[in-house]
């Protein structure tokens, strides 16, 4: 006689092999994420604007215990390292930001709807400013952020531009919350593409070093609602003096 766990495994396997049930199982997955599955992937910018415009949010990673994990780590880092200014590329709907303790903040996003949501949500907070990504004018900060963004940058040129802008905009530190892997099994044609971004940084940005790699308190174990595949990575700019010594 099957145990409960064994039975659940058998049921999942059967569902995946049945076209009709498999379709409804996929629809249920997307419904739990607060949105409908796009029929075709039209590009990163279009995807995110449509998602927010249709009432979707920034995703499970920006809510609940995952958002709390990031906030605790980043708030502690900001306080301990004397960070006064922060820029985030991909601020989304602002839910993650609602837990942050940053002295001064500028948020950029590709979605006009998301920027509107943030401006209304933080209308009374004069320490926060929000702009469209195409309005970025070379502003810099002590710390720049890319949280739950990298694995949504499917196009190579979009990923490359995001990474270079992210590091160029920082005077001291860069924090990235993402999965560091090239494993993309089952992701073809979706709005997700994982990348071994630490290798990209080593190859393209030699003036930066990995300061911290903080594993997720809630690692992925088969259910994206209870575990995340992303960790927090903090980079520090290598000063000219330390480079000469090395």
- Using CA atoms, how far apart are residues 14 and 17, in angstroms rounded to an integer? 5
Radius of gyration for the chain, computed over Cα atoms and rounded to the nearest angstrom: 19
- Using CA atoms, how far apart are residues 150 and 174, in angstroms rounded to an integer? 13
DSSP annotation of 150: G
Q: Give residue-wise pLDDT tens across range 129-160.
A: 999 999 999 999 999 999 999 988 989 999 99
On the question of pLDDT at 241 being above 50, the answer is no
The reported pTM is 0.79
pLDDT given for residue 40 in this prediction = 58
Backbone angles phi, psi at 188, to 5 degrees: -60, 130
Q: Which range scores top for mean pLDDT: 13-27, 178-192, 230-244? A: 178-192
Q: Which domains does the chain have, with CATH numbers?
A: 1-32 (no CATH), 39-245 (3.40.50.150)
Q: Give residue-wise pLDDT tens across range 194-208.
A: 999 999 999 999 999
Q: Tell me the average pLDDT across 91-103.
A: 96
């Amino acid at each position: 006689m099957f145990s409960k766990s064994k039975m659940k495994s058998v049921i999942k396997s059967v569902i995946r092999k049945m076209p009709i049930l498999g379709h409804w199982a996929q629809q249920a997955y997307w419904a739990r994420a607060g949105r409908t599955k796009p029929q075709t992937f039209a590009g990163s910018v279009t995807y995110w604007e449509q998602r927010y415009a249709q009432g979707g949010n920034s995703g499970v990673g920006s809510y609940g215990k995952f958002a709390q994990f990031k906030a605790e780590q980043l708030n502690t880092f900001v306080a301990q390292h004397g960070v006064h200014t922060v820029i985030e590329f991909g601020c989304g709907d602002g839910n993650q930001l609602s837990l942050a303790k940053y002295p001064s903040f500028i948020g950029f996003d590709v979605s006009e709807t998301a920027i509107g949501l943030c401006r209304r949500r933080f209308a009374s907070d004069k320490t926060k400013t929000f702009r469209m990504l195409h309005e970025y004018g070379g502003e810099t900060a002590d710390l720049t952020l890319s949280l739950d963004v990298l694995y949504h940058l499917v196009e190579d040129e979009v990923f490359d531009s995001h990474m270079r802008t992210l590091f160029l905009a920082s005077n001291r530190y860069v924090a990235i919350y993402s999965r560091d892997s090239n494993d993309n099994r089952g992701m073809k044609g979706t709005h997700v593409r994982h990348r071994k971004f630490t290798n990209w940084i080593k190859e393209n940005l030699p003036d930066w070093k990995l300061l911290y790699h903080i594993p997720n308190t809630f690692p992925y174990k088969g259910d994206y609602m209870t575990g995340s595949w992303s960790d927090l990575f903090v980079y520090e700019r290598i000063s000219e003096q330390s480079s000469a010594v090395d």
